Chain A
């Protein structure tokens, strides 16, 4: 699936819930189902700055696609990063770099997060895009 298709899927998925408690419940479920990251990768240099809870993000190339793995010590944060991993992992660096992220507003994620968490979300996306730019540069060499 393309990034845009996955984003559509997520928008549909979240629109099933009217109540924000239920949306949170879904987000928590996504966090719980995020594949475990290799503990050896949970190093300080993989922590994303700007989050009140800790978020570790790792990126690696497999057959020209970028694979993200991540973890967080807070489950709601883990749900947020799980959403982003679902959107961006397995895509080419080029697609990730040019992807727009309006889906976050469409889901209503940003407005329902506390300001510190919303900042954290922005930092996560930025970090994923930075990885993509770095790997894109490598591919061009």
Chain B
């Protein structure tokens, strides 16, 4: 099926609305994506037709809900090329997945062990590990980055040693758009016996990672960045690791047998899925994956790269505009500033023009410190954005510059 953006936009009811009297131009996709009607319908269908608790009911509705929820797990398994469906753990999102792993590693680390983090991580992929280091006595070291916003792999080599136990890095940077060479990072970490967690919050809307080929130990992502609902995400872990990790939360669903003396835990994946999950979210996550695959990730990437190239060229024509994150391998995220103008002011004027962008530090204060700036304006494009919207953005930026300087 040929890629037809006009037709695709018909799937997204929200794209028809107006903001401040202007047609919405939604360019905050790195924060969250919009939802197609297929995904919205699957949530409505669940609550209208077969809402019930899963995994334990004897009745028909419960069976239907369980089937749909587990079918979604299988869709995720297939999508990410994961070898076993019980290696897919439903979480509330990326942050939850990271915390689950960080918590589990407490007893595996000892004083003097080292963990490596990249210089371009989201706070969610820094803070849980800092807490882990405080608990365990391990030391955190930082893989530095270049002015272009790419990781310095030579420095990474220097940092790796037999003391390294864990490496955590994002697949794609949320504030720069840089695609990190996670395959190389994983291979090198494995050579010294370290485990790797890849934060895929930003990647899964743009590319389709093959987790077996990557040989990654843990991979986490959120459904809401990829046309799914908020409050649901995935943790992939290699079976061997998931067997070793202790449960994160105790409760129903995650047990095999409970007496007051001792509890034995359920098998994977339920060991990590305490309590009634976000059932509607889990099911709709599967629908979102189906939706994206129907469009096709090659078509998505092709269109987004076209938008990225066009927007980069057009924005750079604005005098005094600087783009942060200029690596060769990057996705459709453009972080920029106008000379002598605060990003927050630019974002405010753009909002009045109906253009939604993000301003601020994007939960990556270390990157802002690196560039010595208070923040950036970030325009992030999805496959449903158009070149016309890029034109509106550029015109808005010019107008903001005129008003603010």
- Min CB–CB distance B360 → chain A (angstroms): 6
B341 engages A75 (CB within 8 Å):
yes
Give the contact stretch, choosing among B23-31, B55-63, B196-204, B342-350: B342-350
Question: What residue in chain B is nearest A51 (Cβ atoms)?
Answer: B344
From 1 to 60 in chain B, residues with beta carbon under 8 angstroms from any chain A beta carbon are 20
- Min CB–CB distance A124 → chain B (angstroms): 15
Bitwise, A21-51 to B at CB < 8 A (1) or not (0) is: 1001100100000000000000000000000
Report A-chain residues with C-beta under 8 Å of the C-beta of B20.
20
B213 at interface, CB cutoff 8 A: no
Question: What residue in chain A is nearest B349 (Cβ atoms)?
Answer: A24
A74 at interface, CB cutoff 8 A: yes
Supposing A25-B403, A53-B374 touch, asked if A74 and B345 sit within 8 A by C-beta, the answer is yes
Supposing A20-B20, A28-B404 touch, asked if A53 and B352 sit within 8 A by C-beta, the answer is no
CA of A53 to CA of B345, assembled, Å:
9
B374 engages A76 (CB within 8 Å):
no
Supposing A20-B20, A53-B374 touch, asked if A74 and B403 sit within 8 A by C-beta, the answer is no
Question: What residue in chain A is nearest B353 (Cβ atoms)?
Answer: A21
Report B-chain residues with C-beta under 8 Å of the C-beta of A54.
374
CA of A75 to CA of B359, assembled, Å:
15
Question: What residue in chain B is nearest A54 (Cβ atoms)?
Answer: B374
A117 at interface, CB cutoff 8 A: yes
From 56 to 106 in chain A, residues with beta carbon under 8 angstroms from any chain B beta carbon are 73-77
A114 engages B374 (CB within 8 Å):
no
Prevailing SS type, chain B contact patch: helix
A76 engages B360 (CB within 8 Å):
no
B344 engages A52 (CB within 8 Å):
yes
Report B-chain residues with C-beta under 8 Å of the C-beta of A20.
20, 352
Report B-chain residues with C-beta under 8 Å of the C-beta of A21.
349, 352, 403
A76 engages B345 (CB within 8 Å):
yes
B403 engages A53 (CB within 8 Å):
no
CA of A73 to CA of B374, assembled, Å:
9
Report A-chain residues with C-beta under 8 Å of the C-beta of B389.
none
B351 at interface, CB cutoff 8 A: yes
From 170 to 198 in chain B, residues with beta carbon under 8 angstroms from any chain A beta carbon are none
CA of A28 to CA of B352, assembled, Å:
14
Report B-chain residues with C-beta under 8 Å of the C-beta of A117.
344, 348
B403 engages A24 (CB within 8 Å):
yes
Range for the number of chain B residues in contact with chain A: 10 to 19
Report A-chain residues with C-beta under 8 Å of the C-beta of B348.
24, 76, 114, 117
CA of A77 to CA of B359, assembled, Å:
14
Supposing A20-B20, A24-B349 touch, asked if A53 and B344 sit within 8 A by C-beta, the answer is yes
- Min CB–CB distance B344 → chain A (angstroms): 5
- Min CB–CB distance B31 → chain A (angstroms): 14
Report B-chain residues with C-beta under 8 Å of the C-beta of A73.
342, 374
Most buried by A among B20, B345, B348, B374: B345
CA of A74 to CA of B360, assembled, Å:
12
Report B-chain residues with C-beta under 8 Å of the C-beta of A24.
348-349, 352, 403
CA of A24 to CA of B20, assembled, Å:
14
CA of A75 to CA of B338, assembled, Å:
13
CA of A101 to CA of B344, assembled, Å:
25
CA of A5 to CA of B31, assembled, Å:
44
Question: What residue in chain A is nearest B342 (Cβ atoms)?
Answer: A74
Report B-chain residues with C-beta under 8 Å of the C-beta of A75.
341-342, 345, 404
- Min CB–CB distance A64 → chain B (angstroms): 36
Bitwise, B377-404 to A at CB < 8 A (1) or not (0) is: 0000000000000000000000000011
Report A-chain residues with C-beta under 8 Å of the C-beta of B404.
28, 75-76
User: Would you give 23 A-B contacts (Cβ < 8 Å), ordered by A?
Assistant: A20-B20, A20-B352, A21-B352, A24-B348, A24-B352, A24-B403, A25-B403, A28-B404, A52-B360, A53-B342, A53-B344, A54-B374, A73-B374, A74-B342, A75-B345, A75-B404, A76-B345, A76-B348, A76-B404, A77-B342, A77-B345, A114-B348, A117-B348
The residues of B with any CB-CB pair to A shorter than 8 Å are 20, 341-342, 344-345, 348-349, 351-352, 359-360, 374, 403-404
Across the A-B interface, the 7 shortest Cβ-Cβ residue pairs: A74-B342, A74-B344, A76-B345, A74-B345, A53-B344, A75-B345, A75-B404
The residues of A with any CB-CB pair to B shorter than 8 Å are 20-21, 24-25, 28, 52-54, 73-77, 114, 117
Q: Beyond the given A20-B352, A21-B349, A21-B352, could you list 6 further A-B residue pairs with CB under 8 A, ordered by the A residue number? A: A21-B403, A28-B403, A75-B341, A76-B344, A77-B342, A114-B348
